[in-house]
Homo-oligomer: A and B are copies of this chain.
Amino acid sequence: MHEKDDFDLQEFLPYLLNQAAEESSLAFQQIYKHRYGMLRTEWRVLFHLGIYGELTAGEIAARARIHKTKVSRAVARLESRRFLTRSRDAADRRREALRLTPKGESAYRDLREVARDYDAMLVEGFSEHEAELLRQMLRRLARPAADRGAA
């Protein structure tokens, strides 16, 4: 198949980023899926609560830039499987604080170690400096376009 055109899809950043993101998520996905029956949004919610301790659904949605309906459904699933509990805020009864149960904590700690090892494996082929540069560039690309140039 000869090339007819000089545009290189493999060089187009959104495409390349997507391929890299998908490929590099695969093996980790297998683990949280098979070990805990979680979906992507669910491990993300789990990690947010594991790291920050107590958050509302809205805070998680804002931090992770996940739509609130997705978070709402992930929270419902995690609650029904006893990975987290909710508690209504007495002062503002719209807000609902989420917190991991011991079962949730334990799943989080387990997956956190998997994530650490997995991340280390992914950067194995890069130097320390390259890996740091990569993350820095990715953080910039991940920033909402609105912030470009801003703080």
Q: Name A's B-contacting residues (CB within 8 A).
A: 1-5, 7-28, 44, 47-48, 50-55, 59, 65, 112, 115-116, 118-119, 122-123, 125-126, 130, 133-135, 137-145, 148
Contact = CB atoms under 8 A, between A and B. Distances in A.
B51 A141 contact: no
A65 to B, nearest CB: 7
A7 B51 contact: yes
A133 B143 CA distance: 20
Contact of A112 (B7, B17, B54, B55): B7
Contacts of A137: 126, 130, 134
Nearest to A112: B7
16 contacts: A7-B47, A7-B112, A13-B135, A13-B138, A14-B24, A14-B25, A14-B28, A14-B119, A15-B44, A16-B139, A17-B25, A19-B142, A22-B65, A27-B145, A125-B140, A134-B134
A14 B21 contact: yes
Given A9-B47, A44-B15, A23 B119 contact: no
